[in-house]
Structure 1
Amino acid sequence: MTAYVTGGPTAAVADDAVGAVPLTGIDTPRRSASPWRWRLLRLVSVAAAIGLWQLLTEGKVRLLLRFDTLPTVTQIVSALHRRLGTYEYWLDLAQSLIRILTGFGLAAAVGVATGVLLGRSRLFANTFGPLTELVRPVPAIAMVPVAILLFPTDEAGIVFITFLAAYFPILVSTRHAVAALPTLWEDSVRTLGGGRWDVLARVVLPGILPGVFGGLSVGMGVAWICVISAEMISGRLGIGYRTWQDYTVLSYPQVFVGIITIGVLGFLTAAAVELLGRRVTRWLPRAQEGLR
């Protein structure tokens, strides 16, 4: 017998029911395209962009945009090969990674904690909330002069700028995630005898994870923008500092080596955040559907 949906309360009727709609295939997993097909498409799109860049720069095209002033792909690859063999490249890379991971790690811890407090405590929201709303619109890179005056070393100032850049996206996302939690979940825990800490551990923290990781992803991108900018302004080492130095001496292939390095590092760190987010939110229905 085949199941049907009708306008009445009966969930299943005979095959010859008038006007019935078959439910066949409702529980059938959705068939998605092979992941290799999408990966191949991504590679093709990147390769096409690189090929177009080579054609425009090698042909000295000057149509609205001045591609004749930019280095070719082959020049950039040659410069990258030379730079990879130098000690200073890896030192700059390590220095930028230390700064981004330190500032972002602090922002993640403090941002999630203050976001939960803003969403759960009326007293904290009325005392600390106005301060965050006043400071949040100020771009983190605009705080470079303050960081220079406030901290005894340039290193601490750059970490502070990175922290500020990532802190507010994480804070806001966490606060909104807390506010969006259904009150029914908290009421259920309290009905079963749970206290404040039970609500925090069993409802708030698991329930806000999707929103928190959304903020972490945005915060990582903004943090990279600001750490590179801070290195260009007041750094002594780092990818941003080296890229700006190459620009001042008109070494344009080396400039693009720095740009590519920044892009790759930003992609890898953002992908790590996304991967961690998917792993800790496996229990979500949408995540389970994606595994089918």
Structure 2
Amino acid sequence: MSAPAVTLEAVAPAAAAAPRAAQSRAGRMVWRSRAVRLLSVLAAVGVWQFLTADHIRLWVRFDTLPTVTQIARAFRHQLGTDTYYLDLGQSLIRILTGFGLAAALGVIAGVALGRSRWIADTVGPLTELARPIPAIAIVPVAILLFPDDEAGIVFITFLAAFFPVMVATRHAVRALPTIWEESVRTQGGTRFDVLWRVVLPGSLPGVFGGLSTGIGVAWICVVSAEMISGRLGVGYRTWQAYTIVDYPGVFVGIITIGVLGYTTSAAVEFLGRRVTHWLPRGAEAGK
């Protein structure tokens, strides 16, 4: 009887060390991935500086573009002004308002179109006709519809994000296995139970896919709308810098837009991972 006890005592430390070793490997992989990403950005910056500082002309005329050092000086100057933060806040208010409305109404519309045949037959054709129209093409209509430019820009932002969210939600709802709903029904569940316990949780991965796409499209359209009819905002300031031939200022605006877009998209994806942490793919992605 003593031999099995000795064997278990020998195996137990190794079994306990296995998860620690796996966590250590995962940690090293994460840091290695972050280092590679940082190096890729630094390499791109170095190539940009080389091409612009040495006035390289290949198929593209890099000698007409500002260098990294010129952009950095312009960025440092902008960070010391109140106007930069005012534009930043105005663009964020517009994007969060329009995207928030699109997220709420897009999910509601997607669930309704995916669950109701009557709504799909009556409202579905209208959404399919409107969906291919670029939101930025609605700028003249928004100017006519709304009494001020601010409401029009928010409307354009909402429209840009609404359709990706709605379509992704509709497809996610329609792709749910019918056996899930039948299981709730057989246990005496109501239509509300099916919606709350099956439709909404089951469609969350698709919903957040639509939200991730929608926030990117919303940034494209809010910046374009600010350039056309805005009086404040990152897009407006970027276009103004171009009109006065301030090319370093143009790239300050471009970099700011990129950072804002990356940050908001990362926030949406982070929230999606947290909400859908119970999915197997969430566990696999962390490995």
Note if 1:190 corresponds to 2:173: no
Instruction: Name the structure 1 match of 2:142.
Output: 147
Show CA shifts across 1:27-80 (max 9, x none).
Answer: x97965620000000000000000000000000001110000000000000000
Instruction: Name the structure 2 match of 1:133.
Output: 128
Instruction: Name the structure 1 match of 2:44.
Output: 49
Which residue, 276, 279, 285 being the options, matches 2:280? 285
- After TM superposition, the structure 1 = structure 2 runs for residues 73-222 of structure 1, keeping only pairs within 5 Å, are 73-222=68-217
Question: Which AA in structure 2 matches 1:184?
Answer: I
Which residue, 217, 223, 244 being the options, matches 2:218? 223
Deviation at 1:285, TM superposition (A): 1.2
Distance (Å, rounded) in 1 between the aligned partners of 2:284 and 2:74: 45
Instruction: Name the structure 1 match of 2:252.
Output: 257
Deviation at 1:288, TM superposition (A): 2.3
Instruction: Name the structure 2 match of 1:61.
Output: 56
Deviation at 1:125, TM superposition (A): 0.7
Report the RMSD for the aligned CA atoms in angstroms.
1.5
Q: TM-score, normalised by structure 1?
A: 0.89
Distance (Å, rounded) in 1 between the aligned partners of 2:65 and 2:74: 14
Deviation at 1:287, TM superposition (A): 1.0
**Identity percentage of aligned residues:** 72
Instruction: Name the structure 2 match of 1:13.
Output: none
Show structure 2 runs of 5+ residues with no match. Answer: 1-20
Show CA shifts across 1:68-111 (max 9, x none).
Answer: 00000000000000000001100000000000000000000000
Deviation at 1:290, TM superposition (A): 3.3
Show structure 1 runs of 5+ residues with no match. Answer: 1-27
Deviation at 1:257, TM superposition (A): 0.2
Distance (Å, rounded) in 2 between the aligned partners of 1:289 and 1:56: 41
